[in-house]
Amino acid sequence: MKQTIVSLLLFLIVLSGHGVAMSHELPTPAKEQTVYVPAYSHIYSGNQGKPFILTITLSIRNIDPIHSMRVHSVDYFETQGKFLMSFLKNPVLVKPMESLRYIVPEKGIKGGSGANFIVHWQSDVPMNAPIIEAIMIGTQNQQGISFVSRGKALIKQ
C-alpha cells in the first residue's frame, strides 16, 4: 500500500512538471555571449584522494538551423584562474548545425579539478545560442569514467 502511494505521488509530480526540467521553455535569442565552461583535467577518488586523469573535449555546437556564428576566443584556465592556453589565433566561422571541438589530452593535467574554458562567440543577428559543453573521459586500472559539464553564459560587464 505504502509503495503504491509513493508511486502515485511520483507520477503526479512528473505529470505536473514539478521537479523536472521543463522542455517547453523557449530559448532567448542572443547575438553574442561569453560562456564559462567548467572542466576537469582530473578528479579525485578513494580515501587517499588519488587523481584520476581525464581527457577533456570542448564541444561548441551551433544549434541554429539558419544562422552562422563566429567563435572569437576559446581560452583554457587552471584551477587557480591562471591562463594556460588559447585555442584560437583568429575567429572561426561556425555554420548552421556545425560543431567545433578542442581537446586537452590526458597529459594536460595542469588544469586541475577546477579547470575551465571561456568561450566568446558572436553573430550578426539574434540566434539560438550554441550548446557549449566539456566532455571528460578517462580510463585506468580497468575502470572508466565519463561525464559532461555544460557552459553557462556570463553577464556582460
Query: What pTM, to 2 d.p., does this model score?
Result: 0.81
- Proportion of the chain above pLDDT 90, given as a percent: 64
Say whether pLDDT at 2 is over 80. Answer: no
Domains in the chain, please, with CATH?
31-153 (2.60.290)
Which grid coordinates are listed for 55? 581527457
The model's confidence at residue 24, banded by pLDDT at 50, 70 and 90, is low
Write down the pLDDT at residue 117: 98
Which grid coordinates are listed for 157? 560587464
pLDDT tens sequence across 64-106: 999 999 999 999 999 999 999 999 999 999 999 999 999 999 8
Question: For residue 68, which of 92, 90, 94 has the smallest C-alpha distance?
Answer: 94
Distance CA 3, CA 7 (A): 6
- Rounded to 5 degrees, φ, ψ at 83 are -65, 130
The model's confidence at residue 141, banded by pLDDT at 50, 70 and 90, is confident
